[in-house]
Amino acid sequence: MTVSVRLPPRVEQELAAYCAAHKLTKSEAVKRALEQLLDASPPAPGAYASAQGFIGSDPRPGNVADSVKTLLRERFRRR
């Protein structure tokens, strides 16, 4: 996959100097830097992990989804 990135002149100069000192191509240096960045950051939580606070939050027994309309009517009548 090809990705194009505009670098500020200072960053481009530092990248060129780094690559010359370490005998790397710019592409290889950028690949390594991105791999380190992605390895260091934790993965984003999935949908299940994000919904944990809502799953099982209704204390009533049974499947609440079967009687949603009835439960909502009861709830709004109490107000």
CA 62, 65, 67, 71 dihedral sign is positive
Residue 5 contacts residue 15 (beta carbons within 8 Å): no
Task: Tell me which residue of 29, 5, 4, 3 sits closest to 17, measured CA to CA.
Answer: 29
User: How many CA atoms are closer than 13 Å to the CA of 60, on its beta-carbon side?
Assistant: 9
Q: How confident is the model at residue 4 (pLDDT cuts 50, 70, 90)?
A: very high
Residue 39 contacts residue 45 (beta carbons within 8 Å): no
Q: Which residue has the higher pLDDT, 20 or 74?
A: 20
Residue 19 contacts residue 25 (beta carbons within 8 Å): yes
- pLDDT for the residue numbered 62: 75
Give the model confidence (pLDDT) of 24-76 as tens digits: 999 999 999 999 998 888 877 788 888 877 777 677 777 777 888 888 888 88
Whether residue 14 is predicted with pLDDT greater than 90 in this model: the reply is: yes
pTM exceeds 0.85: no
